[in-house]
Amino acid sequence: MNRIDSPSPESDALTLPAPFLRWFAEKGWRPRAHQLELLSRAEAGESTLLIAPTGAGKTLAGFLPSLVDVTRRDRMPPSSPFVGIHTLYISPLKALAVDIERNLMKPVGEMGLPVRIENRTGDTPQGKRLRQKLNPPDLLLTTPEQLALLLSDGEATRFFKDLRYVVLDELHSLVTSKRGHLLSLGLARLRRLAPRLQTIGLSATVAEPMELQRWLAAQAPDRQNHAGLITVSGGAKPEISILNTENHVPWAGHSARYAIPDIYAAIKQHGTTLLFVNTRSQAEMLFQELWTINDDSLPIALHHGSLDVAQRRKVEAAMAENRLRAVVATSTLDLGIDWGDVDLVVHVGAPKGASRLAQRIGRANHRMDEPSRAILVPANRFEVMECQAALDANYIGAQDTPPVGKGALDVLAQHVLGMACARPFDALELYEEITSASPYADLSWETFERVVDLVATGGYALRTYERYARIRKTKDGLWRVSNPFVAQQYRLNVGTIVESPMLNVRMVKRNQRGSLGRGGISLGKVEESFLEMLSPGDTFVFSGKVVRFEGIRENECLVSQAFSFDPKVPSYAGGKFPLSTYLAGQVREMLADPARRAGLPDQVRDWLALQRDVSMLPGENELLVETFPRGSRHYMVIYAFEGRLAHQTLGMLLTRRLDRAGLKPLGFVATDYSLGIWALDDMGAAFEARAPSLGQLFDKDMLGDDLEAWLNESFLLKRTFRNCAVIAGLIDQRHPGKEKTGRQVTVSADLIYDVLRMHEPDHILLEATRNDAATGLLDIGRLGSMLKRIKGHITHRRLDRISPLAVPVMLEIGKETVHGEAHDFLLTEAAADELINEAMGGAHGADG
């Protein structure tokens, strides 16, 4: 590994062609050492991963080998045969591809290089796309979805035959998702079309660089290959602090309302501030609160993924022109776009992961030599500890990026169909190509065959769809699409981002007669599942306004101006990150070690001291379980620190066990830090009588049958199944001729799931669904390692009343609902009300 942190030695600069040297000299700059290093390795034929902090000139480094190569290449006479693209640049964001084009055109223009650079995204007009195919640019900047589309085209062979470099930007964020899986398969195909191809990966710091290095190289059955690595260290140490406040930090909640005046003061003191939050609802709330006290009418804007595109673009433009003083944003702004001169990043709520924090703070300044300034604003006391842990981590460079993971089977199914659309394929040849992509290196031939079968006829044991097959093996042994309609269907549905059904939100007015008017402005989109919870008249915050829900007309959610100050805040499904394993470990250490707590504010230290006196502070690998009565119920609080998802799964499994033990559990609630369960019976007494013992209760065999039984009924699995079914092409998001989306999908994925589970529980899509759930929504892996870690280290404290540490989770009760499966009891209640009402003689009395 090369670690480079000094400017380049003079002599290396000689490897650059004259226009480059002239340009650097005119600017009074010198190429940086890592830029030259990457160039010389590329010229030696090596694929390379470049890890560098923001502002290190990563983009120029990534493109330098291409620019130099194209410049040196002989000019093509107009009559020369077709030349395909030279370099492909892939970014996770459309906006980034457009941004890079702008940034790259400037030096290329100044140097007068004979290089054509164009982007191709979903927004590129049809005419331009066509021209790009006939007369490709030298450098094409695009996204993973567009690459999949290009590869499924019959002309792909010609288009990519001269490809020399693939530059992959923000690789760390691309590889961990299904988009990354799809991209890895696309890369495998590119290698087949252009065997000389080299890859250049650009990444922020990651925990396991070798995973990315392998991802960049073709894998062989008998050995693991990997790209080279250049790491640029340095970058100024960020100045991060935790908000210093005189105000009382709340015990629970996520609003950070207490800190609003302090945040406003910080905005006033800085030029441009970026405010990051973890969820869209927090963004809405913070924006609302800031405007309430915005006496100076500072230009403060809001930016999140559900807002109307036009509105988002407006905010982005204003930001680039430095017309804003502050922007409240969710992860939509996380990635490497330049946002003008941001000189302060405020992170409201805990960062949930040390790497995420480092990335977000990197947004400030965007210049490597100046320190970034950031303020962390914990929303509650646990978050104070978490912020402290993240802050320590940022200084010591610890990273907790998620692993790349095994390639998803639904993505593979989509890719197989795409490859059939491109040209007829030989199964064995395609299998070899696919297993050269590192996420699919371990794919078995048998699984591959099942995926091909899934693509062809749905992969059912009952083989009734042969005559409708989408792809068929013909006499020459090759698989090909049955008809052109299949390819059309594929192109409409390409990609791995499945939107949950969303409705457009439109602001309307009531006319004098009280009926709703037509027209009005569109505010953005909101999940249908959220609206199902609303009754007309309910209020919620959306797009920075308090609005009143009026109803649903056609496919739009109608709202009107509300005059309520206590809105129901949208509980969006998206945007909740669980606490990273690394930070959780740090928080546990902090609880166990008095020295680590020294840096915490007084009010938090006092809170922990009280906990120590009343109950105890658990040791690093100890699991503390408290039980206590409250009202007519008995509570158990488990301090597992494994993140909300794992806790939710644990809660489901433990309540099943408690139920079997006859302790009559009623419900549970999970936070990132702990899990609270309540029951009719005294669980504390039962544990003391070892009926059951805590060891038995927490035995890891709960991950066996209990998990299986619960999973089969779980709504979480249904949601996951829908995504898998759409990605695999079993259900179309869009159907040729009728471009339907979301709620208009004519078949219900839930019903299909039920039918499939009942008749073919081993179907490959159900397998894919379970794999997804285990790593994602349920965090089973993490739960498993926790159960192993705490075995024999469970400490039970039976208390008379609630402990200080238990307060946060107890306050969540009622806000968080139990995701039960059997809803029938609710119907029983409703029907009982009807009877009671009838008996009381009220004809229409009961309220709904």
Partner 1 sequence: MHRLLHATSGPAANTFLQAATSVNGVAAVCDPLGGLFLPESRTLVVSDLHLEKGSAFARRGMMLPPYDTLATLRILEAVVARHDPATVVSLGDNFHDRKGSAAMPEIFRQMIAAMARGRDWIWINGNHDPDGAVGLPGASMDELRHAGLVFRHEPSLVDGLGEIAGHLHPSATVRRRERCVRRACFATDGRRLLMPAFGVTTGGLDLRHRAMSGLFERERLVAHMLGRDRIYSVRFANLLG
Beta carbon of residue 823, minimum distance to partner 1 (angstroms, whole number): 4
Beta carbon of residue 146, minimum distance to partner 1 (angstroms, whole number): 23
Beta carbon of residue 250, minimum distance to partner 1 (angstroms, whole number): 23
d(CA 204, CA 179): 18
Indicate the residue among 621 and 828 with the shorter CB distance to partner 1. Answer: 828
Cβ atoms of 649 and 779 within 8 Å: the answer is yes
Contacting residues toward partner 1, per CB under 8 A: 454, 457-460, 462, 464-465, 468, 470, 485-486, 489, 532-533, 535-536, 551, 730-732, 735, 747-748, 751-752, 754-760, 763, 817, 822-824, 826-831, 833-834, 844, 846-848
Beta carbon of residue 46, minimum distance to partner 1 (angstroms, whole number): 44
Beta carbon of residue 63, minimum distance to partner 1 (angstroms, whole number): 41
Indicate the residue among 623 and 725 with the shorter CB distance to partner 1. Answer: 725
d(CA 759, CA 629): 45
Indicate the residue among 25 and 747 with the shorter CB distance to partner 1. Answer: 747
Beta carbon of residue 153, minimum distance to partner 1 (angstroms, whole number): 19
Indicate the residue among 612 and 759 with the shorter CB distance to partner 1. Answer: 759
In 3-state terms, what secondary structure has residue 609? helix
Beta carbon of residue 752, minimum distance to partner 1 (angstroms, whole number): 6
First to last CA, the chain: 67
The per-residue b/e assignment along 310-345, b for 16 or more CB within 10 angstroms, e otherwise, is ebbeebbeebeeeebbbbbbbbbbbbbbbbbebbbb
The per-residue b/e assignment along 480-512, b for 16 or more CB within 10 angstroms, e otherwise, is ebeeeebbebbbebbbbebebbbbebbbbeeee
Indicate the residue among 293 and 680 with the shorter CB distance to partner 1. Answer: 680
List of residues 6+ apart from 92 with CB closer than 8 A: 143, 144, 169, 170, 173, 174, 179, 335
Beta carbon of residue 554, minimum distance to partner 1 (angstroms, whole number): 10
d(CA 752, CA 745): 12
Cβ atoms of 725 and 750 within 8 Å: the answer is no
Indicate the residue among 220 and 830 with the shorter CB distance to partner 1. Answer: 830
Give the chain's length. Answer: 848
Indicate the residue among 16 and 725 with the shorter CB distance to partner 1. Answer: 725
Indicate the residue among 471 and 683 with the shorter CB distance to partner 1. Answer: 471
Indicate the residue among 389 and 486 with the shorter CB distance to partner 1. Answer: 486
Cβ atoms of 304 and 329 within 8 Å: the answer is yes
Indicate the residue among 95 and 728 with the shorter CB distance to partner 1. Answer: 728
d(CA 776, CA 50): 28
Beta carbon of residue 418, minimum distance to partner 1 (angstroms, whole number): 15
Q: Any idea which residue has 């640049």 for tokens?
A: 89
List of residues 6+ apart from 638 with CB closer than 8 A: 623, 624, 625, 647, 650, 654, 674, 675, 676, 677
In 3-state terms, what secondary structure has residue 257? helix
Beta carbon of residue 489, minimum distance to partner 1 (angstroms, whole number): 5
Cβ atoms of 556 and 548 within 8 Å: the answer is no
Cβ atoms of 147 and 90 within 8 Å: the answer is yes
